[in-house]
Amino acid sequence: MSALWVIVPAFDEQQRLPQTLAALAAQDDVDFTLVVVDNGSTDKTAEVARAFAPTAPFAVHVLDEPEKGVGCAVDTGFRTAIAAGAAYLARTDADCLPRRDWIREIRRGFADGAELVCGHLVARRDENRPAARAAFRGMVVAAALFGRYRSKNRGPDYLVPYQMHAGNNMAITADLYLRCGGMPRMPSPTDRTFLNRVRRCTTRIQQRRAMVSENSMRRIYAYGVLGSARWYLDRGPGRRTADPR
């Protein structure tokens, strides 16, 4: 059994999930176990994952997590993997496309001594034109700067400065996951809360630009830039649904 497990939370992702699964199957290192956590989908997300399992080059588990919220789905997946013996945990989302060397870059981060490895955020190339991808890069830079100087992310209890972290492109040791208390069981966004938990427990956090899982921009398209900023600042989705599809 592999020591590395990959967790993919999914809600109503029957359209995009096959692309994510194909990207994972195309990794140049397939020595991992995959867990897809269906978070109460109303479509055929779970059926898509189960149909993929017999064809996959790695073991696949499909879990049902009825408690609403990506944090609930991630936490259930991570703790299930740890109970089964996982030493290392990685996560991407069901609308993301991990590049072919994603797993290899995760392993390199752990080999360098990191306990949390944070990947590089880029927009999906198949869904966005160059101008939109460039705009996304600008938004990521702005969000990283804002997060670094935001008062809520600063304080004597943090062992390292705030660094941009995306839950859909990260990997963590099982030991650190348990030490920090794990993913908050709440609806998205959970990234900042989780990272701040980690920052209270370790200095061994690595930003790895070569670790890329291409990110969907559909929330930005659905909410707009200001609406997306409101959502990431934990002020809710406004009048919009919390799960744009």
Regions of the chain short of the pLDDT cut 50 = none
Q: What are phi and psi of 102, to 5 degrees?
A: -60, -50
pLDDT of residue 229: 52
Select 4-219's CATH number: 3.90.550.10, 2.60.120.640, 1.10.275.10, 3.30.750.24.
3.90.550.10
CB atoms within 10 A of CB 36: 28
pLDDT of residue 145: 72
Domains of the chain: which residue ranges?
4-219
pLDDT of residue 133: 78
Helix or strand run (H / E) with residue 171:
strand 169-173
3 state DSSP class of 148: helix
Quick check: 11 and 63 in contact, CB under 8 A?
no
Quick check: 7 and 39 in contact, CB under 8 A?
no
pLDDT of residue 184: 94
Q: Model confidence over 70-109: pLDDT tens digits?
A: 999 999 999 999 999 999 999 999 999 999 999 999 999 9
Cα separation, 25 vs 156, whole angstroms: 43
Residues 6+ apart with CB under 8 A from 46: 36, 38, 62, 64
- pTM of the predicted protein model: 0.89
Q: H helices then E strands: how many in the chain?
A: 8, 8
With the C-alpha atoms ordered 101, 64, 16, 71, is the resulting torsion angle positive or negative?
A: negative
